[in-house]
């Protein structure tokens, strides 16, 4: 098959991968297209849980006769290690496919660069790095997380026109479209991180409350240096239904026992500059298979992480209203601070009715 056709079908696989970014759990979102006689016979994407993988989902739709001597196009190098499921390269070999074409090599050391040799040794034709520049962009955050062994950190903040983060007269600063967009952002990450102060002040749910996305609510992580979290908060009461981590430093045996009885995973955390060591927290969350983290905290946490260049992307929601005397907690110059930190990176500006969303990345 010509390189032009290879690029055409790889592009389809890459588009499948894009469609499910953020919804494949700890695993990367992968797209797979099976072709025979220039016709698409089947396609597959990584499941919401991360398993089965895209290749297996595409293969399972076909009979052995259809699979035999077919070509499969994959957005990412097929896995070659035994994990919770058998390696995808074994499935490809057993299916007697004639040719495997993939766009990007994986950076996972268990797989990276191995599929090519394994498939070639089984007399399967292999092409790699087709439209590699596109797939590298798709997987930039996955690669970052795997290489650095920490989650990708996204920031989110809502402010009024005059830079207040709270309205003393209303629960929300922004409009319904902005709120729904926030729920979509939550659905695309593994975990939301906040602080006990935010939990105690606002009693947030930190879940997805949009039809169709309720099962995509992320796990929750709470920074609580001195174990001040309110036992009667929504997050604590619902920890038995949604995995919740709490990072602390102060030893309070009674509070620890009580929180553990609520099914909260407590993680003792060392201090750095008298604050919970955030590097330790990120590494620990990664070990719990969390590869993406949305920070929904207050002024102090946001500015601290911004100062330390820990945000890979940031979503700033801006209401058109000035709060004046009804506003509380002001962050002057937040737009200029973000623009400075992301000055070498693009950003998109989106209008949500009268609200404005600036996506820095």
Q: Which residues form the catalytic set?
A: 55
Task: Give 288's DSSP letter.
Answer: T
Q: Which residue reads 């975990």 in tokens?
A: 191
What dihedral do alpha carbons 241, 158, 285, 50 form, nearest 10°? 70
In the beta sheet, which residues pair with residue 349? 358
- Residues contacting 105, CB < 8 A, separation 6+: 77, 112, 113, 128, 129
Beta strands in 233-346 (DSSP E): 244-248, 265-268, 271-272, 275-276, 292-295, 313-318, 327-330
d(CA 312, CA 309): 8
Alpha helices in 176-327 (DSSP H): 176-187, 196-202, 234-237, 253-261, 278-287, 299-307
Using DSSP's 3-state secondary structure scheme, residue 205 falls into coil
d(CA 77, CA 95): 17
Helix (H) / strand (E) containing 58: helix 54-59
d(CA 97, CA 113): 19
d(CA 219, CA 334): 28
DSSP 168-196: TTBS-SS-HHHHHHHHHHHHTSSEEEEEH
d(CA 71, CA 101): 8
Q: Which residue reads 């057993």 in tokens?
A: 94
């Amino acid at each position: 098959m010509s390189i032009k056709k290879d690029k055409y079908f790889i592009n389809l696989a890459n588009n499948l991968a894009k469609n499910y970014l953020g919804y494949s759990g700890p695993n990367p979102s992968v797209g797979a297209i099976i072709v025979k006689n220039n016709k698409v016979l089947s396609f597959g994407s990584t499941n919401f849980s991360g398993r089965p993988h895209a290749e297996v989902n595409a293969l399972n739709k076909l009979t052995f006769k259809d699979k035999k001597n077919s070509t499969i196009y994959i957005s990412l190098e097929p896995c070659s290690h035994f994990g919770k499921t058998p390696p995808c390269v074994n499935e490809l070999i057993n299916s007697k496919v004639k040719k495997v074409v993939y766009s990007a090599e994986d950076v996972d050391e268990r797989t990276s660069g191995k599929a090519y040799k394994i498939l070639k040794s089984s007399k399967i034709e292999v092409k790699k790095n087709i439209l590699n520049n596109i797939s590298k962009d798709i997987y930039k955050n996955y690669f970052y997380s795997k290489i650095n062994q920490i989650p990708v950190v996204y920031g989110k903040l809502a402010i009024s026109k005059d830079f207040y983060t709270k309205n003393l007269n209303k629960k929300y600063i922004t409009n319904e479209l902005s709120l729904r967009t926030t729920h979509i952002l939550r659905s695309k990450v593994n975990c939301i991180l906040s602080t006990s102060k935010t939990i105690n002040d606002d009693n947030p749910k930190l879940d997805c409350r949009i039809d169709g996305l309720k099962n995509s609510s992320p796990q929750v992580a709470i920074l609580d240096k001195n174990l001040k979290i309110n036992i009667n908060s929504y997050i604590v009461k619902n920890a038995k239904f949604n995995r919740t981590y709490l990072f602390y430093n102060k030893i309070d045996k009674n509070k620890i026992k009580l929180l553990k009885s609520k099914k909260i995973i407590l993680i003792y955390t060392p201090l750095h500059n008298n604050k919970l060591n955030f590097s330790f927290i990120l590494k620990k969350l990664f070990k719990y298979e969390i590869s993406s983290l949305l920070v929904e905290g207050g002024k102090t946490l946001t500015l601290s992480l911004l100062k330390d260049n820990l945000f890979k992307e940031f979503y700033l929601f801006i209401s058109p209203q000035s709060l004046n005397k009804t506003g509380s907690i002001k962050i002057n110059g937040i737009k200029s601070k973000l623009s400075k930190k992301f000055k070498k990176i693009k950003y998109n500006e989106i209008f949500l009715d009268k609200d404005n969303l600036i996506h820095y990345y």
